[in-house]
Every structure is written in structure tokens, then in C-alpha cells.
Amino acid sequence: MARVEIRDLRVHFGDVIAVDGVNLDVEDGEFVVFLGPSGCGKTTTLRCVAGLESPTSGEILFDGKTVTQLDSMNRNVAMVFQFISLYPHLTVRQNIAFPLKARRLPKAVIEEKIQWVSRIFDLAEILDLRPGRLPPGARQKAALARSVVRDPNVLLLDEPLSAIDEQFREEMRWELRHLQKELGVTSIYVTHDQREAMSLADRIVLMNEGKIVQVGAPAELFNDPTNQFSGFFIGSPAMNFVRARRKGEKAALAEGAATIALPDNVMQLMGDQEVLLGIRPQHVATIDREAEFGCVRTTPSQVNSVGREHWFDFQLGDTTIKGMSQSRVAQGTGEIIARLDVEHLHVFDLKGERLRGEDRS
Amino acid sequence: MSNTPQMPRELSDRVLCGIFIMPTLGVLLLMVAYPFISLLYYSSLSFSVLRPLVPARDMGLLNYELLLTDPDLWQRFIFTGKFVFLTVTVQFILGITVAYYLQRDFRARDFIFTLFMLPMMLCPIVVGFLWRYMFNSEWGIVNVIIAAFGGTKLDWLGVADNAIIAVVIADAWMWTPFVILLATAAFRGIPKNLHEAASIDGVSAAYRFFRITLPLSMPILLIALLLRLIDAFKQYDLFFALTGGGPGAETMTVSFEVGKIAFKYFYTGQASALAVILLIIIVGLSMVFVRYLNNVGKEQ
Amino acid sequence: MILKRNSPFLIPAIVLGIYMIYSLGPIFWLVLSSLKSRQDLFTLPPKLFFTPDLSGYEAVFGIGAAKDSAAAIGLVQSLYNSIIVSIAGTALATILGTLAGYACSRFRFVGRDDFMFFALSTRMIPPTAVLVFYHVMFAKMGLSDTVSGLIIVTTFINLGLATWIMKGFFDGVPTAVESIAKVNGYSRFYAFRKFVLPMVRGGIAATAGFCFIFAWNEFAFSSILSTTKAKTLPVRLSSAMGSTGIEWTQICAAGVVLIVPVAIFFYLIRRHILMGMTFGVLGKAGH
């Protein structure tokens, strides 16, 4: 187990910049998840840590020692791939033994380790089968067992659960999280699924276009996005964004489609420029009587109830705002009052950077 | 479906399958099964196509008995075995080694790969003549090079021990590209992830090659082996042009011998008997091989 | 990426270099010798620089000084025979092999595996063994020394290979293609012709390429079954061991002429060749 540091990592493939200056420290035993859309550089960064890709510039350090020049076989890392990481011509037992045999460990030790790992991962029944006969879930479990059996410095996981059925995936996620803590192995996990990231990570590293957008605990990213991209990418349904500009005492939304009263601190942040207001659908509700701040009179354009959650959409000019109410919203019955919870209102400049007041920090 | 094309009448899968198979089956029956049965019949006769008017005499199994008790024929089998073993071994060692080093990406790799395929594309009869020309003991380029490095010139095609080396060099020259081709196809078929997994597992290049690359390439390499064994076994053109079976009959293969009995001496009956023996050996070996191949395929 | 990035380049370079001398040296020598005059061929040490002499090529194409000479007319006729026989034989083998390959890939019929093995036997049979019989059969059918006879034989020797390679390519096309066509009301044959065939165009090219190589270079069958007017170029060459000794220049020139179309063909279909040589095994073994 080791502490992993990534220093100013850059990877260029010809003209394409895959990773554009990534800096990150992963603590010993920590579970870090790289999250981002495809092509954001998360997998390339992971492959650099594995030694499968050589960085254009920058450094990778394990426990303070640089490993940038080492190839993957000398880094003692373990990796689980999205599809195939088991050798198809070997049984699960032989697969697990493979890295140990390559290290010329004595037979008894290998056997002992296989027993140990098969107990943890509950593999006893499939030890002598070949991967081709196993369902994807069992295959990835065996692949995980194979990677942790030799005490790697760091465990790297490249979307390991994406080939598994939804139902089984939930279970695997829970198990993975549990085992990671029990084994205390430093882990880096790559995914594009924000729900997966939220449920697994100690810390999420959100990436976009080769750069780190925001790093933090799942709750931190959810509650306190530092820019428009984090707000948009984390949480489901996605955060609402609407253009706003000061108009007298109030603010005009979406080119004047509606005006809204906002508290002083928000008005100060806005200043005289046009900004983006971001708010999660969970923080847009309907109320019966107009409150002091954040209320808009509107008619819902679409209503959809899922269990106790009553989702509704309404239009402000070109912008659709999604909200969630505790009580049923009737469609086509005319005006409702939608209230934006100003406590959870985020202000971004038009470039997408979060505007923060001095008092809030 | 208004835009459904008007088909004459829908053919059932069964009929379609029959229509697709029939022409090939017809050719196979005419060109393989019919000859084989006829050869069985001929092999019991004493006759010659040169003298169709002389009535054929029924010899029973005498043709086979004569052949199998002929020590010369056993010599042909021994030489054929030696030749097949040597040339296929050389082809596989060279072919797999070259394919292994051709995996690395470098500029002009595809160009070099195509150039390496050239010998296989050259007409076998020309290959035979070309090597005969180069192996000439007086002015052949091979001896010229040997002499330039201070060696003594060899009589390549005039001495039995040299002649077998010469034919192996020529045959391996021509057919190593085929092994390179199939080995390359096999190596490229291995998922990249597995190589990366092996690299992360910390195994040495040699260990990886023997424990992963080679076993995973096995199905295709076995096909290559089967085809190479068969082709070497039936090699005819090269001997025809390179050695003509000489010196003496030292480089005479069984396949060549059949040709000689049939088309030089025109003992059609006896040639048929030898042809039958040859076919049984080759088809029998292939069946064992294909069965094994199917098992390998199923296991993976 | 399979070899380590920083492993020394030296060993691969040496291995490939040595093999290249072995592999391409004779080709180089063939081309060089095809341009030499008779006098230059046998000099010691062999000449690397000489005045090119095109008499070999003139003989093969029946032009220049060799125009109207008896030997040259024979060569030109055999070149013409070679072209007809290879193209027709390749086309037939490819068409029949495509149909049979599709049937073997898609339909389960009794004896399919036996059929596949039977087909492969066309590649296994030593020519001399069946020639004993063909010789008789062709004589009876009046096919001896005819171009049509050689076309039949050429089709036959490639049929097994064509069936196997095409089956491999058809195995790579998902059966959903036909299912979707069926759902949309197209017949199986229409689906085969309009949807499946275009998807294996590369495979057909690769198959035709391989068949052409073997057809173009075929010697054993043609040498027995054609005696005078149907002789193909390889057969004609074998008789270049005339009374005046072997016509090395002609043989080398004909060798170059023979390899050029094949090499061009190979280059054009190079992308499909590797795929074709896996006989569909890769798809099965990869997962």
C-alpha cells in the first residue's frame, strides 16, 4: 500500500491533449474515484499510474519515490480492466497464481494466498473453472482477487463494473467498498457513472477536457460545486442553470422572462454583470403562498410523479427549469408558485466559474 | 410492408442451404471421392494408360505387397519424413521469431511485412530454378559468398547430405512467410488488455511469450502447422525444378515417386496403389489433427 | 506496445536484418539476373553492375529481338493461358467457396463437419496421387490439354481454402443481420445478397487473392494435364531446360513477370489478408 502523488502530469497523443496538467495526492489506503465524461483523460491518467502509458511530462511518485521511468512490471501495481483481465486459457486458480508464480514465490505460500483470497472473495466454487464459463460478475470478482493477492502498491480499476448487470452491480459495488476498507489498499477507480462514484469514493476527482475540475468528498461535490461543470455532472437530474441580471431591486431571469427577488448576498455576487444561477431540482419546490425570496409565478409544462417525488418542469423563456415538489402538482390547471431555495442557489460567471462572497468562506 | 421486393417465391433455408452446398459438393465428389474409389480399383490391376488395348490383369493386393516390400520405397518415406520435419521446424522457428519481433510498432513495418511475403508469392517452379541457379557449385552466388568468407565451396546438389540441406533452405525460404503471416494474425488477435495485464503482473517478456502469447495463439498456429505439414508432405514442384530427385534418388519424396511411376514408367496400377497409400496416410493424419484442433477450440 | 518501450532495439533489428537478407536476397538476385545477358550470368565474381539486357523479358512477351521466334511464341501463348486459367479458376473457386462458406457458417446440416473436412482435403491431396486418375478421366472426357480442363483443376485446388476462409468471414457477421432482414420481410436469399455479401467484401477480396496466388503459380497439375497448346507459364518454364542448357535469363524474367501481378494483388488486399488467415478461429478463442 502506498501514497500516490501525481505531479503536473501531461499526456499528448500527437495533437490531441489527453491529460493537461493533473496534480493529485492519493493518501495511503484511500479510495479515490476519477469521474468524468468519456475523453476527459481519466483513463489515460490511470494508465500513466499503471505505467501502461508514458507521460509527455510530469511525474508519478509512490511513497515519495518517483516511478515515472519504471515500466509497469516494476511498479507493483494491480489493475482490473473493463472487459478482459483474466487469461482465458487458465483456470481461476491459475489466474490468481500467475503473478505470484512470475515472482517465484514458493508453492506453499502461493497455495496459502489462494486460500486466503478465495475465502475473502468467496471463490471456492469457481476456482477450477475457466473464465469463459463464468458470468461477468464472477469474472470481475476473480479479477479483483487476482489483483489484490500480491499486495500491490495501488489497485487500479478501469470501469470494472460496467459489463455487469445493473442488479448485480449494486451488490458488487457494496462489496468492493467493503473489501477495499478491510484490505486497506490504496485504490484508484475510473468511471463515468456519477452514482457509482458517489457510492464508492472517499474522494471524487472530477475531470473534464484533460483537467481536474474539482476534488472532494462526494457530499462536497454535490453541495458545493466550484463551477458549472461540477454542478451539471454531479447529481441527477442535472442542476438547472438560468441566466440572470440585476434589474432594480430584483433580478431578471432568462432575458427578462421572469423577475425574482433574491437576498442581498446573492445580489452582491451578481453585481452588474450577467451571471448563471444554478440550482438543483431538489431545491425547487411549489408553495401555496409567496415567500420573501426566490418565488416565480409560472405554469408547469410537464408533470411526472415517481412514487412520492413529484417532478415538474416549467419554462423561463428558452430555459426549462426542473423542480421537485412534496405534493402532487396538477398539470394544466394554471398558475403555480415555484420557489427556488435561495440557500442552495449557486452563482457562476458566464465562463462557468463559481462566484463566492467573502462572507461565505 | 409496401416496399418489400417481389421475390419469385421464398426459398426455405433448407433448399437454400442445398443450393449453396451442391456445386462445391459436386466438385468434391467428382474430383476427390470418385478418383479415390477409382484409384482403389486401379490399384488392384496391372495396366498402363499407354497401352489401353492390353487387357488389365487383376492383381489383388499384389501391387501393395510389391510396394511395401520394396526397400527403395521405404527410403522415399524416410527421406520425406526427414524433409517434412526439418523444413517445418525451420519454418516455425524462423516464422514465429520474425512475427514476434514484427509486433513492435516501427516505421515501415507494414512495408517490410509485405516484402517478407514475397517468396511465398513466387511461383514454386521458379523458386526451384532460382535456388538451383544460386546453388550451382561453380558460379552460384551461395558458393561465391561462402568463398568470400573464406569457406570452401560445397557441391550442394551433387551430394546427398548437402542436397537435403539445400531443399530445406529453399522450401523454408518459400514458406516461412506463411508462418509469419499466420503467427502475426494470431498474435494480433490476442486482446491488448491481456498483454497489459501481464505487464502489470510483472512477468518477464519470455515468461509472457511462453505462458500467454503462445498458448493463446495455439488454435491458429495449429492450423498453420497442419497446412505446412501437408504442403511439405506433398511438395513436388520444388523437387522437380531444384534437384529432380537427385543426386541419384536421394531427394526423391513419396509424392515425387508416385509421379515418376505414373508418368515416366506409366505403371498406372502400381502408381494407383502408392497414391492410395499416400492418401490414407495424409487423410488419416489430418483427421487426427483436425479432431485435436476442434478440442483445443472448444476448451477456449 | 507489446514489447517494452525501452527495451533495446538492437536484438529485433539484428534478427529482422538477418532474416531480411535470407528472405529478400534471392528476390534481389532474381531481379538482377533477369536483366543480365547470357555472358554476364556466369562471370566470376558475379557482376553487380552491368549493362541491362532485356532479352529475357523480350522472350516472355514475344517482342523486340525475340519477336516471331518459336520459343517466344510458346512463352506468349503460355502467358495468355496462365491469365485465362487463373482468372477463371479464381472466380469460380471464390464464388463456389462463398456459397459453401455461407452455408457452413449459417446452416446446421447433417455432416457439416465432415463436409468441411472433405473440402479441406482438396488442399491435402498430393497432386501426383490424384493425377494418376485425372490423367485417365481427362483423356476420356476430352479435356486433356485444354484450357477448360485446367480451369476445372484450378477451381478444385482452391475450393477448400476458399470455403474455409469465407466461412471464417461469415462467422464474423452477426446473425442478427438476417434476423432483422427477415423481420422486415426480406427473404433469406435477398438478405444474403443485399446485406451479408457487402459486409464480407474484404473477405471475398482476400479469398480471391489467395486463390489467385495458388492458381497463378500452379504447376504439378498443369504439367501433366497440358502437353502443348494449353501449357501455362510455369509449365512452359519447366521445359526451358532445353538442349542448349537452362535459359536462366528467361526463367528469371518470367519469374519476375509471374510475381508482379501477385504482389500487386497482395498489396491491394493487404488489410484483409490477416483477418482471412484466422479462419474465424480468433472470434472463438478471443473471449
Domain boundaries, chain A: 4-229, 240-360
CB contact under 8 A, C4 and A54: no
The closest CB to that of C285, out of B103, B216, B263, belongs to B216
Q: Please, which contacts does A351-355 make with residues 24 or more away whose CB atoms are closer than 8 Å?
A: A352/A227, A352/A228, A352/A229, A352/A276, A353/A226, A353/A227, A353/A228, A354/A225, A354/A226, A354/A227, A354/A228, A355/A269, A355/A270, A355/A275
CA distance B39 to B276: 7
| Residue A297 exposed, middle or buried by CB count within 10 Å (0-12, 13-18, 19+) | exposed
CB contact under 8 A, C238 and B241: yes
* DSSP per-residue letters across A6-49: EEEEEEEETTEEEEEEEEEEE-TT-EEEEE-STTSSHHHHHHHH
Question: Is A52 touching B (CB cutoff 8 A)?
Answer: yes
User: Mean pLDDT across chain B, nearest whole number?
Assistant: 85
* Confidence (pLDDT) at C241: 59
* pLDDT tens column, B236-291: 888 888 888 878 788 888 888 888 888 888 888 888 888 888 888 888 888 888 78
H-type helices in chain B, by residue range?
A: 13-28, 34-42, 62-68, 71-101, 109-116, 118-121, 124-134, 141-148, 160-188, 192-200, 205-208, 214-233, 237-242, 254-263, 268-299
Q: Which residues, in sequence order, are bridge partners of residue B45? A: B58
The residue with greater pLDDT, B300 or B23, is: B23
Q: Is the pLDDT of residue C82 over 50?
A: yes
CB contact under 8 A, A83 and B191: yes
* pLDDT tens column, C126-152: 888 888 888 888 888 888 889 999 999
CA distance A270 to A342: 14
Residue A283 CA: distances (Å) to CA of A230, A238, A295, A327, C95: 17, 12, 12, 14, 68
Chain C residues touching residue A84 (CB < 8 angstroms): 287
Q: Is the pLDDT of residue B1 over 50?
A: no
Q: Do β-strands B57-58 and B45-46 pair in parallel, antiparallel, or remain unpaired?
A: antiparallel
CA distance A167 to A115: 28
Are A293 and A281 in contact, with CB atoms under 8 Å apart? no
Interface pTM (ipTM) of the complex? 0.85
* Confidence (pLDDT) at C244: 59
* pLDDT tens column, A44-79: 999 999 999 889 999 999 998 999 988 888 888 999
Which of C151, C210, C250, C281 to substitute to test the interface with B, most B CBs within 10 Å? C281
Question: Is B289 touching C (CB cutoff 8 A)?
Answer: no
Average pLDDT over residues A185-192: 94
* pLDDT tens column, C150-167: 999 999 999 998 998 899
Which of A48, A67, A79, A157 to substitute to test the interface with B, most B CBs within 10 Å? A79
Total residues found in chain B within this entry: 300
The DSSP 8-state label assigned to residue A324 in this structure reads E
* DSSP per-residue letters across A46-77: HHHHHTSS--SEEEEEETTEE-TTS-GGGTTE
* pLDDT tens column, C40-56: 777 777 777 777 778 77
Chain C residues touching residue B219 (CB < 8 angstroms): 281, 284-285
Nearest CA to CA, how far is B91 from chain A (Å)?
Answer: 26
Average pLDDT over residues A105-133: 90
Q: Give the residue carrying C-alpha cell 479441406.
A: C120
Are C156 and B31 in contact, with CB atoms under 8 Å apart? yes
CB contact under 8 A, C5 and A84: no
Q: For helices B109-116 and C248-268, what crossing angle results, to 10°?
A: 130
Nearest CA to CA, how far is B88 from chain A (Å)?
Answer: 26
How many interface pairs between A and B have CB atoms less than 8 angstroms apart? 64
CB contact under 8 A, C287 and A71: no
Chain B residues touching residue C117 (CB < 8 angstroms): 286-287, 290
pLDDT band for C283, please (50, 70, 90 cuts). very low
**Alpha-carbon dihedral sign for residues B5, B7, B12, B18:** negative
CA distance A3 to A186: 7
CA dihedral of residues A291, A296, A301, A304 (deg, nearest 10): -30
Q: What angle do CA B269, B271, B276 make, to 5 degrees?
A: 95
How many interface pairs between A and C have CB atoms less than 8 angstroms apart? 9
Q: Is the pLDDT of residue A206 over 90?
A: yes
User: Mean pLDDT across chain A, nearest whole number?
Assistant: 88
Which of C1, C3, C282, C287 to substitute to test the interface with A, most A CBs within 10 Å? C287
* pLDDT tens column, A84-103: 778 888 999 999 999 888 88
DSSP SS3 for A353: strand
In chain C, whose CA is at the least distance from the CA of B240?
Answer: C238
The CATH number of C59-285 is which of 3.40.50.300, 1.10.3720.10, 1.10.150.120, 3.40.190.10?
A: 1.10.3720.10
In chain B, whose CA is at the least distance from the CA of C40?
Answer: B139
**pLDDT above 90 covers what percent of chain B?**
22
Average pLDDT over residues B181-202: 87
Are A229 and A202 in contact, with CB atoms under 8 Å apart? no
Q: Do β-strands A203-208 and A258-260 pair in parallel, antiparallel, or remain unpaired?
A: unpaired
Q: Is the pLDDT of residue C4 over 50?
A: no
Q: What angle do CA B102, B108, B109 make, to 5 degrees?
A: 15
**Alpha-carbon dihedral sign for residues A178, A183, A184, A186:** negative
The DSSP 8-state label assigned to residue A227 in this structure reads B
CB contact under 8 A, B200 and A87: no
CA distance A349 to A272: 11
| Residue A15 exposed, middle or buried by CB count within 10 Å (0-12, 13-18, 19+) | exposed
Chain C residues touching residue A132 (CB < 8 angstroms): 287
Nearest in space to A34 (alpha carbons), one of A201, A217, A205: A205
* Confidence (pLDDT) at B15: 86
Nearest CA to CA, how far is B197 from chain A (Å)?
Answer: 6
pLDDT band for B154, please (50, 70, 90 cuts). confident
DSSP H or E stretch at residue C33:
helix C10-34
Chain B residues touching residue C26 (CB < 8 angstroms): 119, 130-131, 134, 173
CB contact under 8 A, C287 and A88: yes
Nearest in space to B31 (alpha carbons), one of A110, C230, C151: C151
pLDDT band for A107, please (50, 70, 90 cuts). very high
Average pLDDT over residues C16-21: 93
Q: Is the pLDDT of residue C180 over 70?
A: yes
Q: What is the CATH number of domain A4-229?
A: 3.40.50.300
Nearest in space to C234 (alpha carbons), one of C75, C65, C25: C75
The DSSP 8-state label assigned to residue C176 in this structure reads H
* Confidence (pLDDT) at C117: 85
The closest CB to that of A71, out of C6, C285, C286, belongs to C6
Which of B2, B31, B112 to substitute to test the interface with C, most C CBs within 10 Å? B31
Domains, chain B: 43-299 (1.10.3720.10)
* Confidence (pLDDT) at B53: 67
Q: Is the pLDDT of residue A320 over 50?
A: yes
pLDDT band for A27, please (50, 70, 90 cuts). very high
Q: Give the CB-side neighbour count of residue A317, counting CA atoms within 13 A.
A: 13
In chain C, whose CA is at the least distance from the CA of B18?
Answer: C103
Average pLDDT over residues A234-250: 88
Q: Is the pLDDT of residue A290 over 50?
A: yes
Are B156 and C249 in contact, with CB atoms under 8 Å apart? no
Are A23 and A30 in contact, with CB atoms under 8 Å apart? no
* Confidence (pLDDT) at C284: 40
Chain C residues touching residue A163 (CB < 8 angstroms): none
CA distance C18 to C20: 5
CA distance A312 to A326: 11
Are A328 and A321 in contact, with CB atoms under 8 Å apart? no
Chain B 86-115, residues with CB within 8 Å of chain A CB atoms: none
